[in-house]
Amino acid sequence: MKNIHKHFGGVIALRGVDFTVGDNEVIGLIGDNGAGKSTLQKVLSGLYPPTKGEIYIRGEKINPRDYSVKKAHELGIETVFQEKALGEKQALWRNVFLGRQPVGPLGFLDVDKAKSETDRIMKDFLGFTGAGISPESTVSTLSGGERQGIAIGRAMYFEADLIILDEPTNALSVKEIGKVLDFIREVKRRGKSCVYISHTIAHIYEVSDRFVILDKGKIVDRREKGDLTEQELIDELTHHAAKSEEGADV
């Protein structure tokens, strides 16, 4: 992404952002509330068109007028949003294949394939081996970490090269958070890339290769994990937050 701007009327959410994701890389995208993190990922995922700027995927320039969530899927970009990503009253197999249902030779929904593939996703991608969860289970019966796992597993199944996670550990227990972080490690183990958005520095530091810090719609720092400790990363964020408040006071 080069020189990305995003305006909502008179509100400027992004101001000339350059953002790159490498092959098999987990990037921790961090910043305070209102920094522009969610807006940036929604531009990258095709939900919002940029007001100005250029997007390249595998070196190919993308026409912003043709770019959409569907186009992003076709290009290997999947997003697990902070908002509810699953239909709570629907069975798992329906959620996994929502909008991309397998069909038979006559064009009818292949329910058996959808269920068998969902079972494979649960076992091979997510390690769900217990008898309590099946493709017929409704989302409402799952824990928070299991729901995030299904959403991430869906993205992995469709062979996304880049998975974007927006605050995936919000309101989860310590055990559930551990599951989500394990899913992120699995994404990297499979050779894919991930943009991980979170306010919790301990989680983001644990699984990220690189950190990008946003503040008021601009990138104010980029750091490799090997260049600083978790506490130094927290100090960096505190420093930028303090500078931002000083600027606001002026």
Tell me the C-alpha distance between 108 and 130, whole Å: 31
- Total count of domains within the chain: 1
pLDDT at 84: 56
Is 203 contained in some domain? Answer: yes
* Residue span of the structural domain in which 41 resides: 24-46+68-89+138-249
Is residue 31, in this structure, part of any structural domain at all? Answer: yes
For 166-176, what is the mean pLDDT? 79
**CA torsion sign, 81 to 83 to 87 to 88?**
positive
* Residue 209 identity (one-letter amino acid): D
In a domain, 99, yes or no: no
Q: Residue 186 sits in a domain of what CATH number?
A: 3.40.50.300
Residue 149 lies in a domain: yes
**110 in a structural domain:** no
Q: Is residue 150 part of a domain?
A: yes
Higher pLDDT pick, 189 / 174 = 189
pLDDT by residue (tens digit) across 103-154? Answer: 777 777 888 888 988 888 787 766 676 667 888 888 888 877 777 777 777 7
Residue 70, both tokens: 């569907």
- The answer to whether residue 125 is domain-embedded is no
Token pair for residue 189?
């183990």
Asked whether 204 and 26 are in contact (CB, 8 A), the reply is no
Checking if the pLDDT of 250 tops 50, the result is no
- Does the residue 194 lie in any domain? yes
pLDDT band for position 249 (cuts 50, 70, 90): very low
Higher pLDDT among residues 67 and 86, named by residue: 67
The lowest-confidence range among 67-71, 74-78, 132-136, 205-209 is 132-136
183, 80 in Cβ contact below 8 A?
no
